[in-house]
Amino acid sequence: MLQGKKILLGVTGSIAAYKAALLVRLLVKEGAQVKVLMTPAATEFITPLTLSTLSKQEVGVTISEHGSWSNHVMLGRWADVMLIAPASANTMAKMANGITDNLLLAVYLSATCPVLFAPAMDEDMWFHPATKANIAKLLSYGHQQIPIQKGELASGLFGEGRMAEPEAIIAYLHDFFSKGNKPLAGKTALVSAGPTQEPLDPVRFISNHSSGKMGIALAEALAEAGANVQLVLGPTHLSTQHSGVVTTRVVTAADMFSSCMELSPKADIIVMAAAVADYRPKNVADKKMKKKDDELNIELEKTKDIARTLGSQKKNGQLLIGFSLETNNEREFALKKLQDKNLDMVVLNSLNDAGAGFNYDTNKVLLLSRNGKEQALPLQSKQEVARNIVLAIIDLQHA
């Protein structure tokens, strides 16, 4: 399972640092490439020579001793995963607050890979509110905590705070890589997709050209990232078979509004990709309308604005992403929608771009975020566009 995996092991100042020797040995035995970083305090518990001999790699302790000053950036990009074991209360506090006073922490802040940490400390430190707050911060960054164990502690007391045994950490890594990195694991996403149909009579309706391709691709990309996805899908022949997506079929704008209102309270991420009708016939005939006069006047009334309603009742921590399909003054109208509807990000589609818009298998969009960040995506398959939008959503979660 770990064959060829690049593991960056951070060892900090804890009595549990002695377990790093066995951990490195087990990782190498599994076929992993292991590079070790140590805090200066960690060298008081186990020597760099020991870990260098076991890993067959130079061990980094200080920036000045570890090649050029920019090596921490390269190390942060090299790894498939950064594992900090043991993670002392002191190092976790610095990680949580962005303090960078040694090589290990410089690499941590530069790391583009997933970060796992295995806490180790005495029970009183483990239960201190500051430690709990720091761990909560680290989890909010998308890092994963390897569960601590209960047993005899360095103080001689018996309780919680022991670092997981090396064998348990190896098992955790097996599970991590078998599942893949799922940055949205445990999150719930709500996606609307497709058109709506607003009936005139039993056989006719007002609709648009939306196929639902973009919204379905987004639902699947969110599920691939680990989210549990609720897809509210308007009338289309398309569907998804992804096991992580539950589909609710709707027809009218009122149906879509009702389903979105029901599902939105439990959603961490809401993506409104549907092309919902802005107006519907005020009166719907109960029988087929017969052709009589040369002209037919239909009185329309506004439908409920789903994105605006969701924006007005958005909870703390909930992300709301909308779409803006425009034919003129594209950027101006998209930014207005971003503000007026309290969106966190708007995906701007221009019908003036060749290969973008309804029914195409490709799309070209501009992502405009509330924090001022902009990202222009070139013409790509809608699946690729969806994956890039999901990456932008993940960035918003950590902003």
**Is position 337 annotated in a ligand binding site?**
yes
Please name the residues in contact with 339: beta carbons below 8 A apart, sequence gap of 6 or more. Answer: none
Q: Structure tokens of 121? A: 């400390």
**What are the residues facing 160 on neighbouring strands?**
150
Q: Sheet with 228-233: list strands edge to edge.
A: 245-249, 228-233, 188-193, 269-272, 319-326, 345-350, 362-369, 374-381
Cα–Cα distance between 138 and 268 in angstroms, integer? Answer: 18
Q: Judge contact between 317 and 286, C-beta under 8 A.
A: no
Among the residues of the chain, which ranges form H helices?
19-29, 48-55, 71-78, 89-97, 103-110, 123-126, 129-140, 166-179, 213-224, 253-263, 306-312, 330-340, 382-398
| Bridge partner residues of 38 (DSSP) | 11
156 Ramachandran zone, left/alpha/beta (phi>0; psi -120 to 50): left
Asked if residue 323 belongs to a known ligand binding site, the reply is yes
Residue among 263, 67, 254 nearest 35 (CA): 67
Active-site residue set:
208
> Where is the binding site, in residues?
278, 288, 323, 337, 341
